Chains A and B, each alone.
Chain A
Amino acid sequence: MSRVFITGMGVISAIGVNIPENRKALATGQCGITKGTSFPSRYAGELPFAEAPLSTEELKEKLTIRDAGVTRTTLLALHALEEAILDAGLSDEELVSSDTALIGASTVGGMCLMDEMYRDAHKTSGGSEFLASYDCASVNMFLQAHFKMNGIVNTINTACSSSSNAILYGARLIKNGFAKRAIVGGADSLSKFTINGFNALHILSPEVCTPFDRDRQGLNLGEGAAFLVLEGEEAVATGPAGSGATGDKNFYAELTGYCNTNDAYHPSSLAGDGPYLAMEGALSSAGLQPGQIDFINAHGTGTENNDAVESEVMQRLFGVPPAFSSAKSNIGHTLGAAGAVEAVYSILNLVHQEIYAGLNFTHPIPETGLHPVVTYRRMPIHHVMSNSFGFGGNCTSLIFSKA
C-alpha cells in the first residue's frame, strides 16, 4: 500500500489566518481566546471564545464569494483550502481530476445560522437563501461545486474527532487505490447550538481554559478550519502537472500511523479504553514503539473528564509520557476542525523541529502529576502523535513522521 505524504497545508484559527501567522503565534505563546462578541448568543461577551479574526463579510470579500447561501463555516473552509491548494502547488488539472478526493469534516455545518434555520423551519412558503446550507455536507457541497471536483467527496462527523477521521479516510482512499491525492480537513464556526449544548453539559469554562491543570474548569469553544493535501507515492513521483519532477513538491511529513476506536462507555464522557486503543493502534500501524514518539499534541480540552482520562492513558501506554501539550489553550476547541488544525500544528513541530508551549498551566493533576510543555523549545523530533476524542466515545490518534 502506498505511503502518504503531506504536501500542502492551510489553516485559519483564532491565532492567525494562515500557516505563518499560526506558527508565529504558537512559537510566541499567543492566546486567541477572548470574550467573543461577533456571534448571536447571550453568552457572546460573557464567556470566553476563540473567534477567527475575520468577520463573515471580510471573509466573503477576501475570497470574492458573492454566491447566495454561503455560511461562515464554508467560508472558513474555503479560506484554509485555498491556502493548502496554493501551498501544494496543485494545478487546475489535478484539482478536477477524478483521482483527487475531497474529504471534509464539520459538526456545526450551516447550524452556525441557527436562528435563520429556526425561522425557515416555521415558514410555509418562501424561505431564506440558506435553505440548502444548514447541514454538515453543505460545506463540501459548496467546495466541490466551486472547484468543479470530480473525485470522491465526503463529509465526516464523529463529533470532536471528525477531521482526524477525514485525514484517516483520505489516507485510506489513497492506500486502497481510490484516489492519488486527497484534500482532507475540517471546518467549524461558533454556533449558538454548540455553545448551548456544551453549556448545558456544564463543560464550558467561565475563564480561559487551563488544559491539564489541577484547577481546570472546562473548555472554551473556538472556530477555524484547516486542510492538508495528502499525496500517495504515485502522485509524488509524477510531481505537479508540467513539472515532470518531484523537486517542486513540499514534503512536510508522512502520515505513518492512525487508528479510530470507540470508548463504548458513555455518550458524553470517556472512561479510557477508547483513547488507549486509539493511541496504541496508531503506534502499531506506524510500526513504532511508544518510546519513539517525541511529542504528543494532546486532545487536552481542559475539561475535568478529558484531561484526567488522557493523562492516565498516556501513563498507561507510555510509562513516562513524552513531551506533550494542548493547543486548545491557544485556539479553544474548534470541534470538527480540531483534528485538522492540530494536525497542521503537529506537522509544524516536525518541519521546524520545535515544540509549542501549552498555556495557563500552573498545578499538575494530583493523581498523575504530569506537566505539559510550558515553554517553546527546539528539539529533534521524528514522530508526533495527535489525539482527538469526541462525544459518542469516538477516539482517533494520528502519527506524523519526519519525511
Chain B
Amino acid sequence: MFYIHQTACISPQQTFSGTGIDLSREYESADNRMKALEPAYPGIPDNILRRMAKAVRMGVGTALPLIRTAGEKMPEGIIIGTANGGMEESVKFLKQIVGYNEEMLTPGNFVQSIPNAISSQISLLSKNKNYNATHVHRGLAFENAALDAAMQVNEHPGNYYLVGGVDEMASFHYNLEYLKDSYKKEGISNRRLYETDTPGSLAGEGGAMFLVNGLKDQALARLQALVTFHSEEEGAVAGRLRVFLERHLASGGLAPDLFLTGENGDQRITHFYRANEAVIDDNIPVARFKHVCGEYPTAAAFGLWLACQLVGGLPLPGHMVKRAGIASANYKTILFYNTYKGQQHSYMLLTAPSL
C-alpha cells in the first residue's frame, strides 16, 4: 500500500518527537479523560494559533514538522481523517446562536468548526495547492484517509502524501458520548482500564500524522494491507480476520510477530477482541494501547503511529502487553485490529520496509 517515512504524534503521552518519545512514564487519566499533552506549537503564528480549535492545532502541529522535513518536495496531497473536526468551536457557535437568538453572530467559530478546517489550515499554512481531502466516517475516518493515501500512492508511487487522524475531546462531545454510555460511569484510572467489567471506556484525543510514498528507500515501515467493514456479529468479524490472514500474510509467507489491538475496557465489545485473539496463534504476543490514549474515533491513527515506532525499534512498554506469547527482539510484522463501538472494524498489516 505505502511506505511510511516520517511520523508525528500528539497524544495524552509523551509522543511528540520534539521532547523525545517516552511511553514508559504512562501519564494518568483524570476524571475518566485522557487529555492530549499539547506542545507550544512554535511553527504556528500566535495570531492564527489563538483562533484554532484544539483539533486544528493538533492536526496542524503534527503536520507542519513533517512537511518541513520533507524539504523541497511538497506533499502532493493532504488527507485527514477526523470524525468531529473542531467540535469545541461548533459548540461555541451553538452557544452564540442560542445566547444571541441568531443575531449579530461572529463567524470565526463557525469557520473553525468545519471538519475540513484541519486539512485546509495545513494547506493554507504550507501554501499547498494539491489534493486535499477530509474523511469523517466516525470510527473509520482515519482508515478511509489511509486508503485514500494508498490509492494516491498506487497512482503516483514517487509522490509524497501527508495522511493523518485527529480528534479532540470537547466537553460538549464528552457529555453526548457519556449519555451514550461510551465512557465509564464509575471513576477509574487508565492503569486499571482492562480490569473493569462495565460498559464504556475512557475518553481520549490526539493527532497522528504520517508522510508516505511508494518508495522503500529510507522508509520507517510499510503498510501492506488495510481492510475496513461494518458488522455487529462476532462470527463475521472473526471470519474477516481469517480471510485477512490468508490473503495478506499466509499467501506471502508472513506471520505476525505482534497482535496490536484497540481493546478499550468496554465489556460490551471486549468479545470482539477475544474472538480475534482466538483466531491467531497462541504464541503471538498481544498488546493493547487505549489505556495510554483513551478512546476516540480516530484512535487507530495512534495505533498505527505506535506500530511504526515498534517496527522502528522502540521497545514494547510492559504495560501494553496483554499476552506475552513468544516475544520478538524487534517487531517486523504487526497485525493491528480496532473496532469503534463494535460497529466499525479495521485490520491493518504493518511491516518493516524490507518485507
**B77-131: which have CB < 8 Å to A?**
78, 83-85, 90-91, 93-94, 96-98, 101-103, 105-107, 110-112, 114-117, 119-121, 123-124, 126-131
The docked-state distance in angstroms from the alpha carbon of A140 to that of B137 is 8
Q: Judge whether B191 is part of the interface by a CB distance below 8 angstroms.
A: no
A263 (CB) vs chain B CBs: closest residue: B129
Q: Judge whether A134 is part of the interface by a CB distance below 8 angstroms.
A: yes
* With A131-B180, A261-B129, A267-B117: A393-B124 Cβ-Cβ less than 8 Å: yes
Q: Are A273 and B129 in contact (CB under 8 A)?
A: yes
The docked-state distance in angstroms from the alpha carbon of A114 to that of B90 is 11
Q: Are B180 and A127 in contact (CB under 8 A)?
A: yes
Which of A43, A136, A145 has the most CB atoms of chain B within a 10 A radius of its CB?
A136
How many A residues have CB within 8 A of the partner chain? 70
- Residues of B with C-beta under 8 A to A200: 105-107, 110
How many B residues have CB within 8 A of the partner chain? 61
- Residues of B with C-beta under 8 A to A131: 176, 179-180
The docked-state distance in angstroms from the alpha carbon of A73 to that of B156 is 36
Q: Are B107 and A158 in contact (CB under 8 A)?
A: no
- Residues of A with C-beta under 8 A to B123: 262, 264, 392-393
**A200-232: which have CB < 8 Å to B?**
200-201
Q: Judge whether B144 is part of the interface by a CB distance below 8 angstroms.
A: yes
- Residues of B with C-beta under 8 A to A260: 131-133
CB distance from B18 to the nearest CB of A (A): 26
Q: Judge whether B228 is part of the interface by a CB distance below 8 angstroms.
A: yes
Q: Which of B146-154, B261-269, B280-288, B316-324 contacts A (4 or more CB under 8 A)?
A: B146-154
A interface residue numbers (CB < 8 A to B): 41-43, 98, 107, 111, 114, 117-118, 120-127, 131-132, 134-138, 140-141, 144-145, 149-150, 152-159, 165, 169, 172-173, 175-176, 178, 192-193, 195-197, 199-201, 260-268, 273-274, 277, 390-394
23 contacts between A and B (CB under 8 A): A98-B229, A118-B98, A121-B91, A122-B175, A123-B175, A124-B175, A126-B179, A136-B115, A141-B343, A154-B135, A157-B116, A158-B132, A169-B133, A197-B107, A200-B105, A201-B107, A262-B132, A264-B123, A264-B129, A266-B124, A391-B111, A392-B132, A393-B132
B interface residue numbers (CB < 8 A to A): 78, 83-85, 90-91, 93-94, 96-98, 101-103, 105-107, 110-112, 114-117, 119-121, 123-124, 126-138, 140-141, 144, 147-148, 150-151, 154-155, 172, 175-176, 179-180, 228-231, 343
